[in-house]
Amino acid sequence: MAGILRPRGQAAKVVPVELFFDLVYVFAITQLSHLLLDHLGAAGAAQTLLLTLAVWWAWMYTTWTTNYLDPDHPTMRLTLAAMMLAGLAMAAALPQAFGPRALWFATAYVVLQVGRSLVVALAARHEPIGHTFRLILGWHVISAVLWVGGAFAGGTAQVVLWVVALAAEYAAPWHGYRLPFLPRATTADWSIDSGHMAERCQLFVILALGESILVTGLTLAGGDHLSVATVAAFAIAFLTSVAMWWVYFDRSAEAAAEKVAESDDTGRLGRSAYTYSHIPIVAGIIVAAVGDELAIAHPLGPISPGTALTVLGGPALFLAGHAVFQRVVFGRVPASRLAAIAVLVVTAPVVLLAPSLVPPLALAGLAAVVVGGAAFWDSRPA
């Protein structure tokens, strides 16, 4: 496996095979948004959240892998192709992951995580980062038992075991993947190429926004009658997507990559800024896409709890995630971000108390104005 490691000290580029790999996650995001749309209740939201966290974790570990290993190396190309196949099976099983395809989902997820970790542990066995990935492999093997066991158990036991598995995986980086009789990993060993990591996360945000636009377009195309209200709701949904793109990409995206690169501990800051802080950003976009679809489908109907919570909650979650991202990287949260979140959060209970007074079209318009206002405020000359 000579030459499989990326040389440090020179900027790593995102290469076409990584973009090809991401196509699987376009499908996964679509599956997640449809899952939430079809199950707009507390249980459905909880299941969608758990599966979103699993999908994100699978993608993020691949991003960390290609930050260290050259994705254009033949071994890595084959590994990425195998992970695409496992990822496609995982995404296909998402709508029934808590039903008849639980084992399908769990097996695909385990194959993806364990298989990739094994390849990296072998490829980097003589490098400092190799120890970290051997620990990661150990944790994924342990959690694999919980994933597969939960799939066999079904029902409440499945939920409990999958929550425990996911919690263990998410907690592992914070304690250095500690395992008995082995030295823990430290973030000093995780020196990353911040430009590559930032670009990969930016591309995932673009994928999520692309799903939002796809959902709104398909909803409009599938309508039997294009009323003025329907077209207006479509336009508002598009503007909301533009505003979210503007908030994320206008200034902070590139500035954050530079800030991480200047850090004395790029592994620690990169872990917080990209591995964790981007979760509510992506989840917010997915939830907002569901709200857009509901608003376009019934622009003048009464507000249902699901419509109100997705139309307002999606942008609020996105803005909250971006606020956390800015706090982690720059040490501050813009007051405009807090004000925008407050408006969206306060509006939700008011609307739910009088659902017939505010149609989904107006609510979507309010969300667009709030997110657009945050984007405008950020764009002012310094």
Among the residue ranges 285-289, 311-315, 344-348, 354-358, the one predicted with the least confidence is 354-358
Extract the tokens encoding 326: 């800015």
pLDDT at position 381 = 66
CB-based contact 342:372 (threshold 8 Å)? no
Q: Are 174 and 139 in contact (CB under 8 A)?
A: no
What lies within 8 Å, CB to CB, of 79 at 6+ separation is 115, 116, 119
| Integer Cα distance of 58 and 52 in angstroms | 10
Of how many residues is the chain composed? Answer: 382
User: What per-residue confidence (pLDDT) applies to 183?
Assistant: 87
For residues 367 and 240, the answer to whether their CB atoms sit within 8 Å is yes
Considering only residues 367 and 353, tell me which one the structure prediction assigns the higher pLDDT: 367
Distances (CA, A) of 228 to 44, 199, 361: 32, 39, 11
Higher pLDDT, residue 193 or 162:
162
Alpha-carbon distances of 293 from 77, 86, 284, 316, 371, rounded to whole Å: 37, 29, 14, 17, 18
Least reliable range by pLDDT among 114-123, 210-219, 287-296: 210-219
Q: Average pLDDT, whole number, for the chain?
A: 91
Residue with tokens 């084992």: 103
The residues pairing with 5 across neighbouring beta strands, listed in sequence order, are 69
Q: Which of the two residues, 83 and 266, has the higher pLDDT score?
A: 83
What integer is the mean pLDDT of 351-369?
89
pTM, full prediction: 0.94
How does pLDDT run across 192-205, given as a tens digit for each residue? Answer: 888 899 999 999 99
